[in-house]
Amino acid sequence: MARIFKSLQEGLSQYRDRRFDGSQEEYEACLRNSTTVYVGNLSFFTTEEQIHELFSKCGEVKKIVMGLDSTQKTPCGFCFVEFYTRADCEACTNILNGSVLDERSIRVDIDWGFKEGRQYGRGKSGGQVRDEYRTDFDQGRGGYGKIVQSELETIQAHGLSPMAPAPYGGMLEGHSKKRGRDEGQGNKSYHTPGGDKRSRVEENPRFKRGSDEQEDGDKA
């Protein structure tokens, strides 16, 4: 049945990577043949092993590429998962989109294929663009968005109460509407009720820091 129903649906993916170097047709061809999914709205603390555990339920996982903050080289809330077969990849977007990992509802979408460089956040401060303009407090993602954080710091530096009416509200709304998704689709923010109290500043207990073998001695 799905055949007729699918024929009435539009588009393969809501998201268009604006840095894709090619035409819409080429982009769609990539999407049709890709075996990679994009995973969004991850907690910064979610490990590759957790992702592997969830995604291998849809098929053998070939590769996981964590999205990293381009300055700090720490996870910034998204990743790419590559499967061996197209069927597993399609099943994965169908099944796991909207599922909960680490108490966050994750987004899973077909991706056109990982290329070196795409693992880095595209926001000015290094993380994802969505995290620049976010105005809610999200414990799994380092608290407030980057702009709000810096404004909060400014306020605190001037001795104002952080609970004062937010001077940034209007500005931020305008921005987030224009930006839309860069690494992720839509700008929906998820708040985790009862999430753990860790924040970005603390040492992440599950992420073993550093990708360089030089630091091998330490165990996080």
Partner 1 sequence: MEHRGKGGKGKGKGGKGGKDFRPGKRRDFRQGMEETNERRIRSYILANSGSESDINELEEVLKQDIGLHTNLVLETLLECGCEMPLKTGIYATVVGLLNLEHHQFVADFVAAALARYTDHLSKPETHREQARLALRFIASLVGVGAVQAGSLVALLASIVQVATDLAEEATAAEGCDPPVPNESWQPYAECLIYHVLACLPWVGADLRERDPEGLELVLTSAEVFLGQRKRGTRSIFRSVGVAQQEDGSAAGMDDDDEDFIEELWGRISVLHEGGNWNVQSVTKYHSPFEHRLAKAISHDLPAITLAPPPRPPAGASPAEALAMMTRMFPGRPRLRIVDHKKTEGDRAPIERFVIEEFIMDTLKLWEGLRQECVTQLTQLPLPRKWSYEHLLAETVFALMLTLPTPPARNVFYSMVLADLCRLKGPEGQPLLPMMANGLAATMGGLFRRMDLVDLESRGRIAEWLAFHLSNFSFSWPWDRWAHAATLPAIAPQRMFVEDVLQRMMRLSYWDRIALTVPVPLHPLMTPRPEPLYEYSTEGANADEREHAKQLLQHIKDKKQVKVIGEWVKSTLIEQLGPVAAAKVVAGVVLHLSSKSFTHLSTLLDRLGPLISIAAPSSLSETQGVLLSTAAKAWATSPQHLAITIERMMAKRLVQNTVIVDWVFATWEEAGGQAERSLTARLALWEILYSTVNKTSARSRDLKQDLEAAETASTAAAEGLRKASAQAATAVEDHLAAAEEARAAAESAKAETNVETRREAAAQAQSDLEALLRHVLQRFSQALSTGLAKALEDGAEMQEADAEDSGAE
Q: Shortest distance, CB of residue 19 to partner 1, whole angstroms?
A: 23
> Cα separation of 131 and 143, whole Å?
10
Span between the terminal Cα atoms of the chain, in Å = 50
> Cα separation of 208 and 75, whole Å?
11
Q: Shortest distance, CB of residue 189 to partner 1, whole angstroms?
A: 19
163 binds partner 1 (CB under 8 A): no
- Around Cβ 109, how many Cβ atoms within 10 Å? 18
Strands (E), the chain: 36-40, 61-68, 75-83, 100-101, 104-105, 107-111
> Cα separation of 153 and 167, whole Å?
13
Q: Shortest distance, CB of residue 37 to partner 1, whole angstroms?
A: 14
Residue with tokens 């207990």: 205
Asked if 122 and 24 count as a contact pair (C-beta separation under 8 A), the reply is no
The single residue among 26, 53, 136, 202 that binds partner 1, judged by CB under 8 A, is: 53
Which of the ranges 23-31, 109-117, 166-174, 207-215 carries the binding residues for partner 1, by CB under 8 A? 207-215
The single residue among 12, 27, 64, 71 that binds partner 1, judged by CB under 8 A, is: 64
Asked if 102 and 45 count as a contact pair (C-beta separation under 8 A), the reply is yes
**Bridge-based pairing state of the strands 75-83 and 36-40:** antiparallel
The single residue among 27, 103, 166, 175 that binds partner 1, judged by CB under 8 A, is: 103
The single residue among 29, 95, 160, 171 that binds partner 1, judged by CB under 8 A, is: 95
The single residue among 14, 26, 52, 162 that binds partner 1, judged by CB under 8 A, is: 52
Q: Is the CB of 101 or the CB of 147 nearer to partner 1? A: 101
Q: Is the CB of 16 or the CB of 206 nearer to partner 1? A: 206
Applying CB under 8 A, the residues found at the interface with partner 1 are: 1-8, 47-50, 52-54, 57-58, 60-61, 63-66, 84-85, 90-91, 94-103, 194, 196, 205-206, 208, 211, 213-214, 216, 219
